[in-house]
Amino acid sequence: VVVVEVLVIVVVIVLVEVLVAAGVVVVAVVVQVIVVVLLVVAAGVVVVVVVVVIVVVIVIDVVVVVVVVIIDVGVEVVVVELVVIVQVVV
């Protein structure tokens, strides 16, 4: 029974992490594309656009990684607490 509970919990954690990561990455990519297009249209200066885009992309990627890590840790902490509660109750 305990093994089954642990397996279910692990599967849920993995699913949540994958969904969160995938969602965040998709959003980040979309935002990057939009930003690139807007900058190219607005500026028209190739050098400026390239530099700005590189900076923006790096910043977005860093933010995404941080967010994913925070969510990841948060989810795992909550799940661990739930597991402890379940075990205590049982």
How big, in percent rounded to 5, are the helix, strand and coil portions of the chain?
95, 0, 5
pLDDT value at residue 45: 59
Average pLDDT over residues 1-13: 71
pLDDT value at residue 43: 61
Query: Is the per-residue pLDDT at 1 higher than 70?
Result: no
The model's pLDDT over 40-86, given as tens digits with 9 standing for 90+, comes to 676 665 666 666 777 777 777 777 777 777 777 777 777 777 777 77
Contacts of 28 (CB under 8 A, 6+ apart): 60, 61, 63, 64
